[in-house]
Amino acid sequence: MKEDAYEVDEPSVTCSIVIGHDASVQVISIPVGGPKVDSIFHFWYTAGKAAGWPSQEAKLRATDYVYAKGAVHYEKY
The string of pLDDT tens digits covering residues 40-72 is 999 999 999 999 999 999 999 999 999 898 888
Residue 1 pLDDT greater than 50, yes or no: no
Its pTM stands at: 0.66
Residue 12 pLDDT greater than 50, yes or no: yes
* 3-state helix/strand/coil string of the chain: CCCCCCCCCCCEEEEEEEECCCCCEEEEEEECCCCCHHHHHHHHHHHHHHCCCCHHHHHHHHHHHHHHCCCCEEEEC
* pLDDT-above-90 percentage for the chain: 51
44 C-beta neighbours (distance < 10 Å), count: 20
CA 27 to chain centre: 10
Rounded to the nearest integer, the mean pLDDT of the chain is 85
Residues in the chain: 77
